[in-house]
Structure 1
Amino acid sequence: MSQGRIVKVSGPLVVAEGMRDCNMFDVVRVSDKHLIGEIIEMHGDRASIQVYEETAGLGPGEPVVSTGAPLSVELGPGLIETIFDGIQRPLVAMREMYGTNITRGIDVPSLDRKKKWKFEPTAKKGQKVVAGDIIGKVQETAVVEHRIMIPYGVSGTITEIYAGDFTVEDTVAKVQKDNGEIVNIQMMQKWPVRKGRPYKEKLPPEEPLVTGQRVIDTLFPIAKGGVAAVPGPFGSGKTVVQHQLAKWADAEIVVYIGCGERGNEMTDVLMEFPELKDPRTGESLMKRTVLIANTSDMPVAAREASIYTGITIAEYFRDMGYSVALMADSTSRWAEALREMSGRLEEMPGEEGYPAYLGSRLAQFYERAGRVISLGTEGREGALTAIGAVSPPGGDISEPVTQATLRIVKVFWGLDASLAYRRHFPAINWLLSYSLYLDRLDKWISENVARDWNNLRSDAMRILQEESELEEIVRLVGVDALSPNDRLTLEAAKSIREDYLHQNAFHEVDTYTSLNKQYKMLKLIMGFYYKGKKALEAGATIKDLFELPVRERIGRSKYVPEDQVNTVFQEIETQLNDQIDALTSKEVAKNA
């Protein structure tokens, strides 16, 4: 172990000399209080260290000891349902040992060393294994089977494998390498957080991550293994969108990172998730969730580490063959931590004071998402989808963090304060947002939902764009000056906005909409528009068309429970056809 002495303390940045034998990103223990820190810069024998705990009271001359290892996370049974801080310390265990206030220098293992897990081997003695092969499983929660994998860098023949109850540190198997060395395999492995976990092959994203949120799934879908950004000003609903995705997205594991988040919002997550019933399994949502809570009052350096901690845990479950959804709320506060540390290091600032390497750091984070074939002889397929909230000051998306993020991600859900003030949620602006996965997902949607889905979607987007153009005319000369066709376009756009895109996150039925129901809802609204145009051509008046009784049923169709969708929507469609046909026949008879 290399030992040095503090020569300077500047907030969370500590400079120590006598550290020549250390390496970049080594974890160190600072002072007699054993504060956790990480080396982020080296000059000769001087090391600049970002300390993940409060540094008040530290002074020059105090010792700094290197552990000789980079910041790593422990991966094994016990991750699910646990709430960690930014450097993977379990908050519940810390409270039990040290009380409600986090004191400095706490050293708590990330995974419980005493709890025993039932290990069921799936490999046999004498079997040849390589890194990534699954040798056994542990039923971690009612819904998650934790698959124990051979660690990276190990391959050979299993000489011993055991069954029974073990702690994460116990040996569950022994592997003899080709050189004769025996390696003890535990249920736990460690991985450095700043290094992406390896995989065999990266696959193109071709299947959507179904979220149950109509504006996302229909207009701006995200693929499994894709990346998305949710920028928006204060109060526009970023956190609620993230919560909805965590609750309803079609992922088997959820990793939620509250990065510099307000304490009361993290409390909401911690209180709400255990109470929520998972629609996939009927169990509590926490049974497949890992939470990382780094609130805004926690040390700023730990905020910088929290998203790496989260994505490494997510990659571990991806390697087991799971589809994982990672929510980072919010990357702006992570970038602010980068800016603060960069300022203390006296680096040359880039735009708005952010470090020049802001874009490359964001890319390193988002590029770890993807749909991959994992290591191992069987080659499991797993997906890691990353969704990052961005909080641009004053909602200005031209600021550096948003712009750097948009250069990397392929889905942009732009939240709009004016929509939020009108109580339209999710407040995703359909004229600003985009998804570059649409073409890739076309085939899957056509095969699994409906062949005419993409035509309906394109027509709905065209109507919404035409509405924004017509609004200018309406403001100048009034709605009565418009042609009947234009008035029908405005009415259809209003129906798409209010009946389809507006979704109540707190309504038990409306909070989630399956793709089948989304298709049928959109087909009804667009059906009214298509048939309405034909009725107008036959001589029907716009007033008669707007007063059709079926319109109220179309507006309320979002509240139809999923198990009644097929029958109720068929009824409404029949009613729509009958009423418009009756109107058209009446006009034809009148003209005759």
Structure 2
Amino acid sequence: MKDANRTGRMRDINGPIVTIELPGARSGEQVKLGELGLLGEVISLRGGDAIVQTYESTDGLRPGEPVRGLGRPLSVELGPGLLGGIFDGVQRPLEAIALASGDHIRRGIDLNALDRAREWRFTPNPALEPGARIGGGTLLGTVPETATIEHRVLVPPGIEGELEEIAPAGDYDLEATIARVRDAHGASRRLGLYHRWPVRQPRPYRRRDDGVAPLITGQRVIDTFFPQLKGGKGAVPGPFGAGKTVVQQQIARWSNADIVIYVGCGERGNELVDVLETFPQLDDPYTGRKLMERTLLVANTSNMPVVAREASVYVGLTMAEYYRDMGYDVVMLADSTSRWAEALREVSGRLGQMPVEEGYPAYLASRLAALYERAGRVETFAGASGSVTLIGAVSPPGGDFSEPVTSHTKDIVETFWALSKELADARHYPSIDWVGSFSGHVHTAAEWWHQEIDPNWEQRRTAALALLARDAELSRIVNLVGPEALSDPQRWELEGAALIKEGVLQQSALDDIDTFCSPAKQFALLDLAIEIYRSGESLIRLGVPVSELQNLPLLAKMRRIKSLYSSEELDRIQGFRDEVEEAMEGVRGEYAKQD
């Protein structure tokens, strides 16, 4: 946008919505309001007035105070130094803010997201020489952003022309010029280590690809039963206390993505404090170094201005797309999209827009769809493959999955991990309900499982889900007339389902051994549970009473084995499998003698 630094005045203030007079104002433009310089964004133009949503509290502002247009849309700084950072909803660095203003964010504080004083070791791309044709996505060089992530410095989208010069290897700060390019009009443009990008504009790519590999989270109920592909769209809906935040934190900690972005969007401050204090202490299970070396956090708690909550998700997504363009697999976790939607509802109400379902604006569904559409696996302009996996938590009031945010999200996403208050009350964690959840990626994920782990994966998964469905039917009968009404085969079906639920699906985030489960161990546990059930089923057909099978010590050990042996001790799980076969054959031999 041109004509930056225009001035005007405020006319009316309605909470975070401010009406201003600003000559030449454009929709989406950033403005500074009042003597404090509060940050805002033009969201509507009405005659000669502009309607601004403010990302800070407007308490104390008065009509008539000055307004200044910045001439650019709400944007983020993209460059080395993002990883390991903790930002607020409009990408202000919280650690730098704490040093400048203490425990409370001073209104109007304006700090660069990236440290201008820090120098980075830049190594130019040896394939580039002056005179080469370059364009958006061309690799200029690399910077070691952390010990585990190489930052690939790319030509920003929309810039192309003839390379005039490129800086030699050396240490440069963010303001230094590392390359110059002459465009088609003959103008020379400088390129640095960082650039700005509007958060509401998706970053372009060459083409969209289908997902091919699952996102391994180390959580059995997710990876084995309801898998998510890299580049997929997922949701974790659940009522208060069902464990949404823990599920997302486990995914952030253990997923095999290259980059993790965690956006705390309107959640309680104590939950985000736990994230902010815990994550910097965690070790990366894949590199042995600190997890924050490939993680960045966006923190916008429920007591922060509601409009910044709406912006925080777009800020996180834009940074995710930036690393995707480098060819990395990024997972972004938004906790929660319900709080994001509530911000939309509040702003639309103050604007006087017609409410529809439960007071939400009519454009809720389209905004949600556009948000999730920015996820995906793509081929970048550099020819690399990168992905953004977007997983949003949803907090339906009272656990009502028919409310608008949950129902619209369910129509959009490909993976739906429905959390159950009943399972959480029964201390079954993760409380993902196998009846209400689904994944549209099973067949694609099966190709990976069959090739990398075992060709029987999909068959075992189907058998386990069928057993769990049968368990739901029989449990209703038990609740009505008692277990005595069931036959021995039916009672053994209940026992088999219990082995699946307790020995496979349950997984404690606080268990040092079981907090993460490798794909090989996941299949070993599932296969073992199914094998025990089928062996018992054949014994019951021989006439063995179900009570005798239920008294076998191996059943109790099957429930505990997930916490006894780590993912590196598969041989010991195989040893237990041999014990199971020996015990079952012993029972079979006794009844064969009686016959």
Structure 2 length-normalised TM: 0.97
Q: Distance in 2 between matches of 1:400 and 1:539?
A: 53
Instruction: Please provide the CA RMSD for this pair.
Output: 1.2
What per-residue deviation string (whole Å, max 9, x for no partner) do you get for residues 452-474 of structure 1? 11111111101111111001211
Residue 118 of structure 1 aligns to a residue whose secondary structure is strand
Q: Distance in 2 between matches of 1:531 and 1:453?
A: 19
The answer to whether residue 540 in structure 2 is matched with residue 536 in structure 1 is: yes
Out of 130, 134, 137, the residue aligned to residue 132 of structure 1 is: 137
CA contact (8 A) 2:266 2:309 kept: yes
What per-residue deviation string (whole Å, max 9, x for no partner) do you get for residues 111-165 of structure 1? 1111111111124323332210111111111111111001112223332222211
Cα deviation, residue 369, structure 1: 0.2
Cα deviation, residue 549, structure 1: 2.9
What per-residue deviation string (whole Å, max 9, x for no partner) do you get for residues 285-312 of structure 1? 1111110000111111111100000000
Q: How does 1:149-548 map to 2 (within 5 A)?
A: 149-162=154-167, 163-376=169-382, 379-548=383-552
Cα deviation, residue 313, structure 1: 0.3
CA contact (8 A) 1:81 1:287 kept: yes
CA contact (8 A) 1:77 1:188 kept: yes
Cα deviation, residue 561, structure 1: 3.8
What per-residue deviation string (whole Å, max 9, x for no partner) do you get for residues 257-307 of structure 1? 000111111110011001111101101111111100001111111111000
Residue 382 of structure 1 aligns to a residue whose secondary structure is strand
Question: Per the alignment, do residues 461 and 138 of structure 1 end up closer, same or farther by CA in structure 2, a change over 3 Å counting?
Answer: same
What per-residue deviation string (whole Å, max 9, x for no partner) do you get for residues 337-364 of structure 1? 1111101101111111111111111111
CA contact (8 A) 1:539 1:588 kept: no
Structure 2 runs not aligned, ≥5 long: none
What per-residue deviation string (whole Å, max 9, x for no partner) do you get for residues 494-530 of structure 1? 1111111110101111000011000000111000011
Cα deviation, residue 563, structure 1: 5.4
Q: Distance in 2 between matches of 1:182 and 1:248?
A: 45
Q: Distance in 2 between matches of 1:214 and 1:570?
A: 18
Cα deviation, residue 32, structure 1: 1.8
What per-residue deviation string (whole Å, max 9, x for no partner) do you get for residues 390-431 of structure 1? 111111111111111111111111111111111111011111
Q: How does 1:48-59 map to 2 (within 5 A)?
A: 48-59=51-62
Cα deviation, residue 564, structure 1: 4.2
Q: Distance in 2 between matches of 1:269 and 1:580?
A: 47
Q: Distance in 2 between matches of 1:565 and 1:226?
A: 31
CA contact (8 A) 2:514 2:566 kept: no
Cα deviation, residue 435, structure 1: 0.7
CA contact (8 A) 2:489 2:540 kept: yes
Cα deviation, residue 553, structure 1: 2.9
Residue 227 of structure 2 aligns to a residue whose secondary structure is coil
What per-residue deviation string (whole Å, max 9, x for no partner) do you get for residues 67-99 of structure 1? 111000000001001100000000111111222
Which range moved further: 156-165 or 461-470?
156-165
Residue 183 of structure 1 aligns to a residue whose secondary structure is strand
Residue 303 of structure 2 aligns to a residue whose secondary structure is coil
State the AA in 2 paired with 1:291. Answer: L
State the AA in 1 paired with 2:304. Answer: M
The answer to whether residue 75 in structure 2 is matched with residue 72 in structure 1 is: yes
Structure 1 runs not aligned, ≥5 long: none
Which range moved further: 353-362 or 114-123?
114-123
Question: Per the alignment, do residues 69 and 281 of structure 1 end up closer, same or farther by CA in structure 2, a change over 3 Å counting?
Answer: same
Q: How does 1:552-591 map to 2 (within 5 A)?
A: 552-562=556-566, 564-591=568-595
State the AA in 1 paired with 2:497. Answer: A
CA contact (8 A) 2:518 2:567 kept: no
Which range moved further: 251-260 or 181-190?
181-190
Equivalent residue number for residue 39 of structure 2: 36
CA contact (8 A) 1:212 1:515 kept: yes
State the AA in 1 paired with 2:403. Answer: E
State the AA in 1 paired with 2:260. Answer: V
Structure 1 length-normalised TM: 0.97
Q: Distance in 2 between matches of 1:354 and 1:484?
A: 53
Question: Per the alignment, do residues 564 and 91 of structure 1 end up closer, same or farther by CA in structure 2, a change over 3 Å counting?
Answer: closer
CA contact (8 A) 2:565 2:573 kept: no
Out of 10, 35, 38, the residue aligned to residue 14 of structure 2 is: 10
State the AA in 2 paired with 1:128. Answer: R
Cα deviation, residue 178, structure 1: 4.2
Q: Distance in 1 between matches of 2:572 and 2:205?
A: 47
Cα deviation, residue 64, structure 1: 1.4
The answer to whether residue 45 in structure 2 is matched with residue 45 in structure 1 is: no
Q: Distance in 2 between matches of 1:427 and 1:549?
A: 27
CA contact (8 A) 2:544 2:591 kept: yes
